[in-house]
Amino acid sequence: MGRASPGCQSALVSMIPHSFLQDLLNRVDIVDVVGRYVQLKKGGANFMGLCPFHNEKSPSFTVSPTKQFYHCFGCGAHGTAIGFLMEHAGLTFPEAVNELAQSVGLTVPQEPSSMRGGGGGTGAGGGFAPAVSKAVTTALSDVMQTACDYYRKQLRSATNAIQYLKKRGLTGEIAARFGLGYAPDGWQNLETAFTNYRDDALVEAGLVIVSEKQDAQGQARRYDRFRDRVMFPIRNVKGQVIGFGGRVLDGGEPKYLNSPETPLFNKGSELYGLFEARLAIREQRYVLVVEGYMDVVALAQLGFQNAVATLGTACTPIHVQKLMRQTDTVIFSFDGDAAGRRAARRALDACLPHAADNRTIRFLFLPPEHDPDSYVREFGTEAFSEQVERAMPLSQFMLNEVLADKELDQPEGRARALFDAKPLLQALPANALRAQIMHMFADRLDVPFEEVAALCEVDARIAQAARRAPARKDRHLVTGIERKALRNLVMHPRIVVQLGEEAEQALIGLTRHGELFEEVTTHARALGESAEFQLLSDLLRNGANAATFEEIFREILDYDENVRDLLMKNPEDGSAVEERREQERLVSEELTAAILKMRYDACCERLDALSRQSRHTPEELAELMSLNQTRADMKRQLGL
């Protein structure tokens, strides 16, 4: 159950206090936020427009100013202003919150530690730059832009660099589109670009390095990090320059040099070319992930403008999440050599937690002697498009990885394959795809499906639920109750506050998906009396179980009445408030009954187990008696 994806996502979210998020959403106007990207027209109490998330000719995209919520009746997209910036502008949760906060003059407070699981998440590798004051990031941003302008200007007169780019087939137009520049040879060229070369911001931005040697005045010497390199500015999704990649012109080393990690630039979460590729990704409906920035630029030149690259690091789950905000289809293209294979494997691992049933993840392996750029040059765009279409599905790649080099006709080989499959299967969400992949393993290894599930410690029941279309009565009755309880809680999070400790513990401890309940109740408690579906759904879709919750949201929004509540009813309207209270009371009662039923089922199960034993310890006998009593009580309460 997505356990392999680090809990960092929910930890990150929790670093921003829920009360601040609520305050923030009260202050911003979603109509303004959405209106910056979508032309909205007033229609009744709400605003309507053409949905930016799917192609349509007549508007089914609705924005409610009173509920501060958007919903598309065509494709089901929905969320708050935070969710909109994430989905549409491709920002991460903290980025979206930051942007909104800035727009209304608020500073985002950070809680020192996460809700649970410890770990804080502010450390290195957390994928999210720790809280840095706006003044600092603005100063660094300015520094980067100045450097970028300087490098671009230098390119104009750098015949050797122009020669190199021309040799790679790039036109001036493409070079300008990606803001390519040139860092001339020499140690302190940036002195001419900045009034104060000793400004520490230049060091912090990674442009200047402080030497251990001292100059004539006894000060530490400083020198430019990038010298005699073609410069590729790395932009964030807002288009700001946050780092540089520099490539040597000749055989020098290192071939590629990137900006170091700075408060602006985090390699584990940024993708080169995403800003430039955003529109093309939407149009082409897929993103192509390649190995280097030269590939990105060269592919854009050749007509594939939807390519991005990681920045000298392996692909991380944060990268994948960022891409999945732009499109449902991600194609990785790796060089055919051993290094390419290794990179592909790392990408596979990063993708597994995000492999939802409605997403496509494929891996394109080019012949060993080719990279995408050289392939397109030799065989043409059509041939490359064909390769993209025929790229290997995630399931097949995963199967190959697990089965390769194993003697499957020997028990040892099959056991080893199961051993290797275990972490991969566990990393996948509990969905139909996982069930399908488990069937493939079962077939290839010639072991029963249940055995694959048991040996890999993957919950076969969930997998089976996905496999068998019509629900069978026994276990699925429980699933039904659980699902409904979860749906009710997500739609009416305020009832969590009214729920007793015992009931909450029952939901977490007795259900098969306790972690889902825990996620919802933790958020709902933090949101308190004013907890609402709107913000809760944005928070949940940002956690480790996003794919599961997305299904729950769909179910909730399938009810017209729910959508009407979320979009139409004015919260100030007295009768609407009354109606809502009544609804919450009903749901709360239903939930209490469901919890009682779950506890009853658990009690029966334990009794069954005990009564199947031929001998009992005195403690077990006592438990048996007390359970019998409890069961009788609960049976009466349930009216069974």
Spatial separation of the C-alpha atoms in residues 590 and 492, rounded to whole Å: 12
Tell the smallest beta-carbon distance from residue 190 to Zn ion (Å).
47
Q: Which is nearer to Zn ion, 88 or 247 (CB)?
A: 88
Choices 45-53, 295-303, 470-478, 548-556; region in contact with Zn ion by CB under 5 A:
45-53
Q: Which is nearer to Zn ion, 59 or 121 (CB)?
A: 59
Q: Which is nearer to Zn ion, 62 or 141 (CB)?
A: 62
Tell the smallest beta-carbon distance from residue 593 to Zn ion (Å).
36
Tell the smallest beta-carbon distance from residue 138 to Zn ion (Å).
35
Spatial separation of the C-alpha atoms in residues 140 and 259, rounded to whole Å: 13
Q: Which is nearer to Zn ion, 51 or 430 (CB)?
A: 51
By rule CB under 5 A, what string of x and - marks binding of each residue 499-538 to Zn ion? ----------------------------------------
Tell the smallest beta-carbon distance from residue 421 to Zn ion (Å).
38
Tell the smallest beta-carbon distance from residue 88 to Zn ion (Å).
11
**Collapsing DSSP states into helix, strand and coil, what is residue 299?**
helix
Spatial separation of the C-alpha atoms in residues 639 and 631, rounded to whole Å: 12
Q: Is 311 exposed, middle or buried (0-12, 13-18, 19+ CB in 10 A)?
A: buried
The residue count for the chain? 640
Q: Which is nearer to Zn ion, 75 or 455 (CB)?
A: 75
The correct pick among 53, 275, 293, 553 for binding Zn ion (CB under 5 A) is 53
Tell the smallest beta-carbon distance from residue 239 to Zn ion (Å).
25
Tell the smallest beta-carbon distance from residue 486 to Zn ion (Å).
25
The correct pick among 41, 54, 134, 468 for binding Zn ion (CB under 5 A) is 54
Give the contacts of 468 (CB within 8 A, at least 6 positions apart): none
Torsion region of 213: left, alpha or beta (phi above 0 gives left; psi -120 to 50 gives alpha): beta
List the beta strands (DSSP E) in 151-269: 181-183, 208-214, 220-224, 229-235, 241-248, 256-258
Spatial separation of the C-alpha atoms in residues 226 and 247, rounded to whole Å: 9
- Give the tokens for residue 419: 């051993």
Determine contact, residues 75/531, Cβ cutoff 8 Å: no
Choices 64-72, 129-137, 426-434, 531-539; region in contact with Zn ion by CB under 5 A:
64-72
Q: Which is nearer to Zn ion, 38 or 520 (CB)?
A: 38
Spatial separation of the C-alpha atoms in residues 34 and 466, rounded to whole Å: 36
| 31-36 LR contacts (CB < 8 Å, sep 24+) | 31/63, 31/65, 33/81, 33/84, 33/85, 33/100, 33/103, 34/63, 34/70, 34/81, 34/84
Tell the smallest beta-carbon distance from residue 478 to Zn ion (Å).
34
Tell the smallest beta-carbon distance from residue 55 to Zn ion (Å).
9
**Interface with Zn ion in residues 65-124 (CB under 5 A):** 72, 74-75, 77
How many of the chain's residues bind Zn ion (CB under 5 A)?
7
The correct pick among 24, 33, 51, 490 for binding Zn ion (CB under 5 A) is 51
Choices 50-58, 196-204, 335-343, 405-413; region in contact with Zn ion by CB under 5 A:
50-58
Q: Is 282 in the site for Zn ion (CB under 5 A)?
A: no
DSSP conformation letters of 453-497: HHHTT--HHHHHHHHSSSPPHHHHHHHHHHHHHHHHHHH-THHHH
- Partners of 46 in the beta sheet? 43
User: What is the binding site for Zn ion (CB under 5 A)?
Assistant: 51, 53-54, 72, 74-75, 77
